[in-house]
Amino acid sequence: MTVLTIATQPIAGQKPGTSGLRKKTPVFMGAHYLENFVQSIFDAIGGAAGKTFVLGGDGRYFNDRAAQTILKMAAANGAAKVIVGQNAVLSTPAASHLIRLNKTDGGIIMSASHNPGGPEEDFGVKFNMANGGPAPEAVTEAMFRRTTEITEYRISDAADIDLGRIGATTVDGMAVEVVDSVTDYAALMETLFDFPAIRAMFAGGFRMRFDAMCAVTGPYATEILENRLGAAKGTVTHGTPLPDFGGMHPDPNPTWAHELMAEMMGADAPDFGAASDGDGDRNMVVGRGVYVSPSDSLAVLAANAHLAPGYARGLAGVARSMPTSAAADLVADALGIGKYETPTGWKFFGNLLDAGRATLCGEESFGTGSDHVREKDGLWAVLLWLNILAVRQQSVATIMAEHFARFGRNYYSRHDFEAIATDKADAMMAELRASLAGLKGQSVEGMEIAGADDFAYTDPVDGSVSQKQGVRILFTDGSRIVMRLSGTGTEGATLRVYLERYTPGPEGLDRDPQEALAPVIRAAHALAKIAAHTGRTEPDVVT
Ligand code: VG1
Ligand code: CO
């Protein structure tokens, strides 16, 4: 077996977005594409020599082939060892946990997360650091720079490794340890939550539906919910991971998880429903007849986390991405703990978690997590909800109603306009940005604009600055519009419009969010001239 040095050339567009590099699968399968990016990762982190990494992915199409290539490149770059999930499958939070548990130098995760998978759909690769969290911007920028100057990569010509068999092996002198994908993650969950209490709740007839959407969480959810917690067999649906997710769009929101929504809103609905995304870091939570928006879920979890053993000491602080509603801030204020507002993307939570400033983090995009790993964690959020339900012995609807009565309600919605021509979306955002300075004091839809800016973030731990993280328009009544373009899509541009309006109560706490937000929605369309720029009047996805 020998190490081959292959001559290559830079390939345009290998710039990591909100969460790693995502492209259409055929692009990733193109000559040198994956190899150039993986070599650039190794180069950007100071080489792989002597290092230990974790490797796994969400099992989508090309996951198996990409894993073999990455292992052979790690070996050729002198890595000491790679810990791989069986069949190269690991959920994103499980990969983060393995990086931390084994004190490795980082890990490579193969996933395009909530994007569809298959030969014509999406694939992705991202690098996580030794803390288990996504590489920060300085590192992803170094990777991108490297892709623009790369001239060669190194790869072993060894035969493929059998990743189906758990145990130790080697490739070209590098140790490879194939581990069960679920065991260590499930053990971590047992340390955080009151499994006996949740087990007793299921034994008492509590019914649940978990939709794994034919993605990576199937085996994790089946082991934890059905085998360890005693939920009825069949609680987990779409529980077998498939390379194309069975044609499903593994994005747990009311639009794409419509089967779960229909069941939870129907007659004889279970007590609790949840869904997760392609790589298992997202969660949607639904009670019988009641949908819980992710921003509200973060707030409820923050207010009740102390009911779970892993958080009984209380929380150091709560962090949310800027577009996420301020519902969690109200809880942080009531608890007298820190609150943080970061740009979109989990990589911005890493420093706050490492520094012990934040314990819980969340995004409006169905992401919730804590300092137990350095990624958002879908199943973790579901288990925390179950722990809270087991202790409070109330329905999800009652818990939500009590929460709103205590804190008021931040009506919230995100409207996505997908596959807009990139030049049109860019022109719209440019015009909107140019108008911001003059917006203060203007009145729109009967609401006065208190201020408008382009969100910039200074990391309180390392002082790094991230500019242009989304346009904010704030109104004097506390309502808010945020607009930004997606950094995870692979086709054209996706405009995300985030809408928020606060109602203190006690009246008006159970309105339909779209109706409560109607003036804010109209204001967003008027201020950004969405129809004039894009031709769109209605969003493609409403969450
Ligand atoms: C989206 C979400 C963001 C999330 C990111 C990765 O990014 O808005 O909150 O962190 O996806 O999630 P964007 O740039 O498209 O808005 V995942 O589950 O796809 O890793
Ligand atoms: Co994901």
DSSP letter string over 46-84? T--TT-EEEEEE---TTHHHHHHHHHHHHHHTT-SEEEE
| pLDDT tens-digit series, residues 278-293 | 999 999 999 999 999 9
- The DSSP 8-state label assigned to residue 135 in this structure reads P
Q: Tell me the CA–centroid distance for residue 5 and ligand 1, in Å.
A: 35
Whether 113 is a known active-site residue: answer yes
- The 10s digit of each residue's pLDDT in 504-521 is 989 999 999 999 999 999
Confidence check: pLDDT of 157 > 90 = yes
Cα angle 454, 374, 491; round to 5:
50
| Amino acid 431: pLDDT | 96
Q: Please work out whether the CB of residue 543 comes within 6 Å of at least one atom of ligand 1.
A: no
Alpha helix segments (H runs only) across 222-257: none
**Per-residue pLDDT band at 437 (split at 50, 70, 90):** very high
**Tokens found for residue 83:** 């810990």
Tokens of 382: 């579901």
What's at 334, amino acid-wise?
A: A
d(CA 510, CA 496): 25
Average confidence (pLDDT) over 329-341:
97
Which pLDDT score is estimated for 489?
A: 81
Query: Amino acid identity, residue 74?
Result: A
H helix intervals, 251-293: 258-265
Pick the residue whose CA is nearest to atom 6 on ligand 1. Answer: 19
The two three-digit tokens of residue 154, written as one number: 């190194």
Query: Is the beta carbon of 96 within 6 A of some atom in ligand 1?
Result: no
Distance 195 CA to ligand 1 centre (A): 30
State which residues have CB under 5 angstroms from ligand 2, the bound ion: 113, 277, 279, 281-282
Instruction: State pTM to two decimals.
Output: 0.94
Span 237-282, pLDDT tens digits: 999 999 999 998 999 999 999 999 999 999 999 999 999 999 999 9
Could you tell me which residues come within 8 angstroms of residue 263 by beta carbon, excluding any fewer than 6 positions away?
209, 269, 270, 273
Q: Name residue 369's amino acid.
A: G
| Nearest bound ligand to the CA of residue 112 | 1
Question: d(Cα 337, Cα 445) in Å, to the nearest integer?
Answer: 36
* Omega before 506 within 30 of 0, i.e. cis: yes
The pairing of strands 317-321 and 360-363 is parallel
Nearest CA residue ID for atom 8, ligand 1: 365
Torsion of CA 32, 141, 435, 463, to 10 degrees: 160
Atom 4 of ligand 1: nearest residue by CA position: 345
Q: What does residue 56 show for φ and ψ, rounded to 5 degrees?
A: -170, 165
d(CA 38, CA 47): 11
Task: Report in angstroms the alpha-carbon separations of 481 from 125, 268, 473, 524.
Answer: 32, 38, 5, 7
Q: What are the E-state strand segments in 265-408? A: 272-276, 283-287, 290-292, 317-321, 338-342, 360-363, 367-370
Q: Write out the two tokens for 176.
A: 């490879």
Q: Is the distance from CB of 74 to CB of 82 less than 8 angstroms? A: yes
d(Cα 497, Cα 345) in Å, to the nearest integer? Answer: 16
Task: At 360, list the tokens.
Answer: 């819980």
From the list 91, 111, 113, 156, the catalytic residue is 113
Given the CA of residue 92, which atom of ligand 1 is nearest to it? 20
Q: Is 345 in the pocket of ligand 1 (CB under 6 A)?
A: yes
- pLDDT surpassing 90 at residue 522: yes
Phi and psi at residue 538, in whole multiples of 5°?
-120, 140
Q: How far apart are CA 230 and CA 332, in angstroms?
A: 34
